């Protein structure tokens, strides 16, 4: 995948490879109900090692900037 051989990788290495190179489309939202929209985006950014300050721009990109303080429910 992406020029990397996956055979022989440890579970943690496989997880890191999936995090960096794959995307998932879920049937349901899979958001943390206790976190705001912005905080849910920040969780994903943190897992990818990206700047948490990117959340507002990303929410704006998908038309959710006005809902950044809303909870998923």
Distance CA 46, CA 31 (A): 15
- Look at the pTM and tell me if it is higher than 0.75: no
- Quick one: pLDDT band at residue 39, thresholds 50, 70, 90? very high
Establish if 57 belongs to a structural domain: yes
Domain, as residue range, for 70: 26-73
Neighbour-count burial of 41, counting CB atoms closer than 10 A to its CB (0-12 exposed, 13-18 middle, 19+ buried): buried
Residue 54 pLDDT: 94
User: Residue 55, exposed/middle/buried by CB under 10 A (0-12, 13-18, 19+)?
Assistant: buried
Counting the structural domains of the chain, the total is 1
The answer to whether position 19 is within a domain reads no
7-27 pLDDT per residue, tens:
999 999 988 888 888 777 777
């Amino acid at each position: 995948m992406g020029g990397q051989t996956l055979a022989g990788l440890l579970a943690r290495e496989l997880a890191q490879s999936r995090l960096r190179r794959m995307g998932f489309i879920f049937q349901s939202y899979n958001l943390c109900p206790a976190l705001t929209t912005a905080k849910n985006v920040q969780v994903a950014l943190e897992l990818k090692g990206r700047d948490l300050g990117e959340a507002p721009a990303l929410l704006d990109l998908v038309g959710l900037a006005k809902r950044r303080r809303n909870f998923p429910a």
